[in-house]
């Protein structure tokens, strides 16, 4: 079983923008996932927390487990609607098996956790829950405030589901916790103080990746970057290989630079794009001076193994001129219809949002916004019905037209309700 290093974020007293920045830094520097929680019983604070996690899920791509107070199945649904991949329910909120069973039946056993407080080795509440039937051994557990004692051993012996240890690592050693056979992940805030320090210098880059590599060297199977192809097997010229770097989300080409063996191995080690500067004849950590780092998502070699393609999360601009991409000098252009689905939907959404912000006389889109949500919903219903009718008729031309009509009206509805195609695609990806 490959272990995961997670970060937990206490959102009970934090400022939203700061917490989202923290989540982004965690992702960029190699954390495998987030456990974000707010156990406030105040309804307003809970709703604000759900909105925060929704905003966070739009920004980060790593899995988010959300922990919040749950009194009914509707609360679980709302938590999933944030974009989180899993929901953690406090053990004390589980009065009987009905809520847990309904949640598992709807969202899957892998996506529901129960959070158990193990303060000073107190395993009695969770063991009693197993005995009474409120929990079954297959339930996933997040155990917090654990100690290396009989209480933890008793929990480990009972738990047959996924077991995550939530720990500040003040008293416990991460290697020891990770070494427990049934433990799939450790969630901690121990490395938070290194996040912004990592922006200060090359010697501090990739501290979380260093921790993971240290665990790996101790024999723990954990997610680190490993190259399936040795640099020595690549075809280089004077020890250098060109690397085309593109935005991992949009596919936009950002720049072309060169790597030598040292730069390649540093990139794999830290997860941060590092090149060889031919003009300075030295290692070049992209963004070290400007702050415009490139965090690796994927690196591939072409068929001849003489060119690399890196897909990255770009911070700021890739080009020294301040342009996002170095390729902004159009030389030859022939008009063409963009048919990339993501690009088309994104452009449609941008146009709709622009109409919402800058109304245009005679615009049908503005007519819908002016009439309000009921009119938009009515049109979505009408278009859905027309699509169904078209699907019953022979040929696909009418159906394509009606689907396009429905997707346009859906886009207006999304803009009215404050969601975009990234939200929808994220939800589909989670499924």
Per-residue pLDDT of the chain (431 residues; tens, 9 = 90+): 899 999 999 998 878 889 999 999 999 989 999 999 999 999 999 999 999 999 999 889 899 999 999 988 999 999 998 989 999 999 988 887 788 889 999 899 899 999 988 876 677 888 888 888 888 888 999 999 877 767 788 888 888 889 999 999 988 899 999 999 899 999 999 998 877 655 444 445 568 988 999 999 999 999 888 899 999 999 999 999 999 999 998 889 999 999 999 999 999 988 999 999 999 999 999 998 888 999 999 999 999 999 999 999 999 999 999 999 999 988 876 666 667 787 788 889 999 999 999 999 889 999 999 999 999 999 999 999 999 999 988 877 889 889 999 999 999 999 999 988 888 887 777 66
Name the burial class of residue 417, with classes exposed (0-12), middle (13-18) and buried (19+) by CB atoms within 10 angstroms of its CB: exposed
The dihedral sign for the CA sequence 409, 337, 59, 289: negative
Residue 379 belongs to domain spanning? 341-430
Domain assignment of residue 403, yes or no: yes
Q: Which residues pair with 63 in a beta bridge?
A: none
pTM above 0.85, yes or no: no
**How far apart (Å, rounded) are the C-alpha atoms in residues 168 and 177?**
12
Same domain flag for 213 and 169: yes
Radius of gyration of the CA atoms of the chain, in A: 25
Cite the beta strand spans of 4-53 per DSSP E: 4-10, 33-38
Same domain flag for 204 and 241: no
Name the burial class of residue 240, with classes exposed (0-12), middle (13-18) and buried (19+) by CB atoms within 10 angstroms of its CB: middle
Same domain flag for 345 and 301: no
Name the burial class of residue 159, with classes exposed (0-12), middle (13-18) and buried (19+) by CB atoms within 10 angstroms of its CB: buried
**How far apart (Å, rounded) are the C-alpha atoms in residues 147 and 189?**
17
**Would strands 163-166 and 183-188 be described as parallel, antiparallel, or unpaired?**
parallel
Tokens at residue 109, please? 């056993």
- Within 13 Å of residue 160, how many CA atoms lie on the same side as its CB? 5
Q: How far is CA 256 from the centre of its chain?
A: 27
Number of domains in the chain: 3
Long-range contacts of 151-156 (CB under 8 A, 24+ apart): 151/118, 151/120, 151/121, 151/122, 151/123, 152/118, 152/121, 152/123, 152/180, 154/123, 154/127, 155/116, 155/118, 155/123, 155/126, 155/127, 156/180, 156/181, 156/182, 156/183
Same domain flag for 46 and 147: yes
Same domain flag for 288 and 175: no
Domain assignment of residue 125, yes or no: yes
């Amino acid at each position: 079983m490959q272990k995961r290093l997670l970060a937990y974020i206490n959102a009970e007293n934090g400022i939203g923008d700061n917490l989202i920045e923290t989540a982004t830094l965690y992702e960029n520097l190699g954390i495998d996932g987030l456990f974000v929680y707010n156990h406030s019983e105040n309804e307003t604070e809970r709703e604000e927390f759900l909105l925060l996690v929704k905003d966070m899920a739009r920004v980060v791509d790593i899995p988010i487990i959300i922990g919040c107070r749950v009194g009914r199945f509707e609360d679980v649904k709302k938590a999933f609607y944030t974009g989180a991949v899993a929901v953690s329910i406090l053990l004390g909120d589980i009065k009987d098996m009905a809520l847990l069973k309904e949640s598992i039946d709807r969202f899957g056993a892998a996506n529901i956790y129960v959070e158990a407080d193990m303060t000073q080795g107190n395993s009695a509440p969770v063991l009693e829950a197993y005995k009474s039937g409120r929990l079954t051994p297959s339930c996933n557990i997040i155990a917090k405030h654990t100690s290396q004692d009989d209480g933890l051993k008793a929990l480990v012996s009972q738990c047959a589901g996924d077991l995550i240890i939530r720990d500040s690592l003040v008293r416990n050693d991460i290697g020891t916790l990770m070494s427990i056979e049934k433990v799939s992940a450790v969630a901690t805030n121990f490395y938070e103080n290194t996040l912004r320090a990592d922006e200060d210098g090359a010697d501090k880059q990739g501290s979380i990746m260093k921790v993971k590599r240290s665990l790996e060297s101790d024999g723990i199977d954990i997610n680190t970057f490993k190259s399936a192809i040795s640099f020595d097997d690549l075809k280089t010229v004077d020890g250098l290989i060109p690397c085309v770097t593109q935005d991992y989300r949009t596919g936009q080409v950002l720049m072309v630079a060169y790597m030598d063996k040292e730069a390649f191995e540093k990139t794999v080690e830290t997860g941060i794009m590092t090149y060889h500067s031919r003009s300075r004849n030295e290692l070049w950590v992209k963004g070290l001076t400007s702050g415009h780092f490139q965090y690796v998502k994927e690196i591939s070699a072409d068929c001849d193994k003489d060119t690399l393609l890196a897909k990255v999360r770009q911070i700021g601009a890739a080009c020294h001129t301040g342009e996002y991409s170095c390729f902004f000098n159009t030389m030859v252009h022939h008009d063409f219809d963009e048919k990339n689905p993501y690009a088309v939907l994104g452009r449609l959404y941008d146009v709709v949002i622009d109409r919402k912000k800058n109304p245009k006389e005679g615009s049908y889109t503005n007519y819908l916004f002016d009439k309000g949500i009921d009119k938009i919903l009515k049109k979505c219903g009408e278009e859905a019905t027309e699509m169904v009718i078209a699907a019953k008729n022979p040929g696909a031309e009418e159906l394509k037209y009606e689907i396009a009509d429905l997707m346009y009206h859906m886009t207006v509805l999304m803009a009215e309700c404050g969601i975009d195609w990234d939200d929808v695609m994220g939800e589909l990806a989670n499924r």
